[in-house]
């Protein structure tokens, strides 16, 4: 049962990409950033899955822990980049929404 929840968590960025594609017209200029963030987060999930499964390639205990550290560092780096892209998407969406609201008030 725990593996099912783990796989659902690892596939959550795919759901985010699907939502971004579904709402692509509403997102406007933020759409490319939202999709890029979802794809990069999905890459982070893939790194987590691969590093966990290839744990035994490290050989001894020290090699295995080093292998896990590298995988975790890469996953965290990818997730930080995804968060930054999401923040950029939010800023672009707000800017677009504010400019549309400003033109609606002027009419």
CA–CA distance from 66 to each of 48, 50, 60, 62, 80 (Å)?
Answer: 14, 14, 10, 6, 21
CA–CA distance from 52 to each of 30, 60, 79 (Å)?
Answer: 33, 15, 17
Contacts of 61 (CB under 8 A, 6+ apart): none
CA–CA distance from 29 to each of 7, 33, 42, 76, 106 (Å)?
Answer: 31, 8, 21, 26, 22
pLDDT of residue 102: 62
pLDDT of residue 7: 79
pLDDT of residue 84: 94
pLDDT of residue 66: 74
Q: Give the pLDDT of the chain (107 residues) as one tens digit per residue.
A: 777 887 788 888 888 889 888 888 888 888 888 899 999 999 988 888 888 777 666 566 677 777 778 888 899 999 999 999 989 988 888 777 667 666 554 54
């Amino acid at each position: 049962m725990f593996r099912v929840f783990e796989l659902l968590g690892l596939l959550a960025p795919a759901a985010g990409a699907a939502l971004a594609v579904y709402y692509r017209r509403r997102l406007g200029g933020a759409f490319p950033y939202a999709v890029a963030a979802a794809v990069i987060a999905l890459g982070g999930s893939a790194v987590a899955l691969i590093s966990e499964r290839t744990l035994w390639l490290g050989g001894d205990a020290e090699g295995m822990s080093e292998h896990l550290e590298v995988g975790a560092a890469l996953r965290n780096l990818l997730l930080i980049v995804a968060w930054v892209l999401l923040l950029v998407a939010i800023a672009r969406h707000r800017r677009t929404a504010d400019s549309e609201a400003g033109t609606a008030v002027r009419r």
